Each structure stands twice: as C-alpha cells, then as structure tokens.
Chains A and B, each alone.
Chain A
Amino acid sequence: MTTVLHPLVKRFLDGELRLADLPPELHAEARAAERLLGAVDRAPVTLPAALEARVMAEVRQRVIAPSARRWWHRLAEPWEIRLRLRPWILGPALAAAAVLVLILARSQPPVPPVAVAAAPESVYVRFVLYAPGAHRVSVAGTFNQWDATTAPLAPAGAAGVWATTVALPVGQHQYAFLVDGRRWVNDPAAPMVDDGFGRRNSVVAVTAGAAGARAL
C-alpha cells in the first residue's frame, strides 16, 4: 500500500514552494508529509551488534597462516632456470605455438567490445516506502540480482514508513519493493517500465558525483 503525494506537495518538500504557496486543501497533506520526512531524517542509523564480530572473524580468516607464508615465499622468490635449446627446434616450436593460437582464436565466438569502468563509483541511495500494515519490506533490483534478502527496509520513525540506504554503482537500475515477502510494489516517485512479467519496474539512474540518486 503506497501513497502518492500531490505534485505541489512534492515541490513543497523539495523547498521550491512555501506552505503559504499551496492551496489550503493541500496544507494538511503537506504538513503530514513534512512530519513523515522529518521522522525519517531523524531516524538514527544503527548497525547490528554482531557486525563487528562478523567483520573481525572475516579478517582473521584471511590472515595467511605461517605454513602458507613459507610456501608463498618459495613461490615468490626467483628461481634459476637453465634452458638449453638446439637452434633447429625453434622453427617447429614457433609453428606449434602459432597453430595453437589459431585454433583457440577460431573456436571462440566473437566478443563485442565492452566498456568496463576501472572502478565503478558507488553512490548511497535512500529508498523510502510508505507501507502501513506491512510486517517486512525490502528492495530488490538489478543492483542486487533481485535478491530481496540483501536490502531490507527498516521502520523509519513514523508509522508505516520504511526506509533503507543502499550503495548503488553508477548506472541505471530497475527495482521494486517486496512487501511481506509476497507482494511486489513500485516506487510511486520513480519512472516505471514494463517488467515482462505483467508488472512494472521502477527505474533509478545513479550518476557519478551526485549526492544521491537522480530519478533518471
């Protein structure tokens, strides 16, 4: 269950309009929305108590054991290799290598040039959904392989408001909210496209250097 705010109320929340600029009949909706957003902004960010323990356990696992370190040094230290070749073997060896390269090249399908970002920049994006009566809400999309367990939303102060902040890589993403593990809900504030399964996905574009997601 979601609520779509009146466009003028959205502009009021964005600071483009004052309350006095709104029609009187929108004052109540504007104040209510302002209260909700105020509650969201005040919600403290709390990390799970077990997070530090999990991180330290992971770090300890990655420390190289002494025996592994000895092996690593054996591998890393330079070896002296003496290779004696008769000149007549060079021709057949090069020919064999050329044939091997040709065979490998012919057996692979053509791969298109792919633009790969050296280090994809991430931007923190805050997802907020008004879903009164919901017991669980999460957000899933192309950024987390549609895994609804990785980005749960938490109640955010006011009744019915759920929110979470997710680091998204720069680019365009499609997503939807999953309410109570069974109902997919769109973000009413974002553009939508057909998902191919009889529903619609919301679209968000994350641009480099932005303070947050831009509704592209």
Chain B
Amino acid sequence: MRTALVVLLLAAPSLALGVTATAQQPVAGRLAGRVPAGVVAAVSALGDSAAARGLPVDPLVDKAIEGGAKAAPPERIVAAVQAVFARLGRAQVALQAATPGVPAADAVEAGAFALSAGLEDANVQELARICVAPCSAAEALRVAGTLTALGVPAPEAVELVRQTLRSGGKERDLLALPGRVEAELAGGATPAQAAAGLARAAAARAAAHGQSGAPPHGPPTSRRP
C-alpha cells in the first residue's frame, strides 16, 4: 500500500505534464515559419475542432504545409484545409453509419481521400459495410479512391472492390486492382470497361466457389480502336 501510494504521488506530476503536453501537440509549432500567421491561427482552431470531434488532425496540418510549400495565397490555404476538415467529417459520419463504434483514424483519413478522389458519401459507407474483418476498411477505401483517380467511375470502383472481396480476395488482391486496371487501360479499354471486366471475372470466381455474388451488370468489355 505504501509503495503504491509513493508511486502514485511520484507519478501524478509526471502524468499531468505528459497528458498536457500531448493535448497541446502544437499545430502552431508545426506550421510556424511555413505558412503566414493568419493561416496558423485558422488551422490551429480547425485542429482543435477536429480533435474535439475525434477527427485526425495531421491531414489538416499536412494540407496547410503543402499550401505553404506551393506558395498558395493564405485564403486559398485556409479554404483547402477547411475542405479537408469537411471531408474528414463526412467520412467519419459515413463510417459510423456503416459500422458501430468509433471509426479508426486511418479509416477516416482514407475515407476523406476517397471522397477527394471522387467517391460519394454513400460509396464510403457501402465500402465500410462490405469490408468485414480481416478486410481493412482503410485499405478498401484507399484502393477504391485510387481506382477513381485512375478514371474509374465510382459505382464501378465500388463494385470491383465488392466482387473482389466476395470472391475471397485478400488484401494483396485489393492492392493489385489499380495495377490490373492500368494493364487493361494499356490494352485499350476505358477505365469503366476495365473495372467492369475485372468485376465480372471476380464474380465468376465467386460463383465458382459457391459464393452469393451476383455478376455485375454492364456492357461487355470492349477495346477502344
């Protein structure tokens, strides 16, 4: 008992200092000298709001630093950071609607990336719903976002991820999807055709394994002249 009390009394000040230092992880310090003072204040306020809502703060700081490096006007930097903040919030809402509990920070960040790449909130929600353990929602969202960045329409991107998972695809199969789409593009397919063709192939594999994945609808893959 005596030992426990001594430990508690000695540890309490350290605990207090440590917790305070972590909470004040200085957004302003990271931005000092990289962006104008007005931007530092605005991003610090957004960082506080993000932390209070359980959103990751690093993407906000990264975007501000990027704006400073690219010599963007202060109002443009703040607008870009606000846009990231908004996308993080949308991603968090979509993820919470899909699965119970507090979504992981990396999933929220990946969801925000997917939204920036062109996916809709409903797509993020759907991807989180179809991605059950051991599938990583963050990975599925990043892959779908990258497919969209390659030009694949959002519905086809989601469908391709869905069919890949239904056919028993593992994380490495998900990660390979953008490369496989690029290979199809090199062969002359449009992004939509490439994704639809790969989704049909995955659905066929799922059917062969007795899974319940219905083949997606859509025109057969054809090559551009």
A-B interface pairs (CB < 8 A), number: 125
13 more A-B residue pairs beyond the given contacts A93-B9, A196-B83, with a C-beta to C-beta distance below 8 A: A7-B186, A81-B6, A94-B5, A110-B52, A112-B105, A114-B105, A146-B70, A191-B149, A194-B116, A195-B80, A196-B67, A205-B175, A215-B179
- Measured CB to CB, the nearest residue on chain A to B15 is A104
Known interface pairs A110-B54, A146-B65, A193-B116; A11-B146 also in contact (CB < 8 Å): no
Contact across chains for A216 and B175 when beta carbons are under 8 A apart = yes
Partner of B63, one of A112, A115, A196, A214: A196
Partner of B178, one of A108, A197, A215: A215
What is the number of residues of chain A that contact chain B, defined by CB distance less than 8 Å? Answer: 46
Which B residues contact A (CB, under 8 angstroms)? Answer: 1-2, 5-6, 8-9, 12, 15-16, 19-20, 23, 48, 51-52, 54-56, 62-63, 65-70, 72, 76-77, 79-80, 83-84, 102-106, 108, 110, 113, 116-117, 142-143, 145-146, 149-150, 175, 178-179, 182-183, 185-188
Contact across chains for B146 and A203 when beta carbons are under 8 A apart = yes
Contact across chains for A100 and B16 when beta carbons are under 8 A apart = yes
| C-alpha spacing A146/B143, complex, angstroms | 23
Distance between B10 CB and nearest chain A CB, rounded to angstroms: 10
Instruction: Write out the residue numbers on chain A whose beta carbons fall within 8 Å of the beta carbon of B182.
Output: 215
Distance between A181 CB and nearest chain B CB, rounded to angstroms: 11
| C-alpha spacing A109/B55, complex, angstroms | 11
A55 at the interface (CB under 8 A from B): no
Partner of A197, one of B1, B56, B67, B187: B67
Contact across chains for B69 and A112 when beta carbons are under 8 A apart = no
| C-alpha spacing A172/B149, complex, angstroms | 13
A142 at the interface (CB under 8 A from B): yes
Distance between B62 CB and nearest chain A CB, rounded to angstroms: 5
Contact across chains for A111 and B149 when beta carbons are under 8 A apart = no
Distance between A139 CB and nearest chain B CB, rounded to angstroms: 12
Which A residues contact B (CB, under 8 angstroms)? Answer: 7-8, 10-11, 16, 81, 83, 85, 90, 93-94, 97, 100-101, 104, 108-115, 140, 142, 145-148, 172, 184, 191-199, 203, 205, 207, 214-216
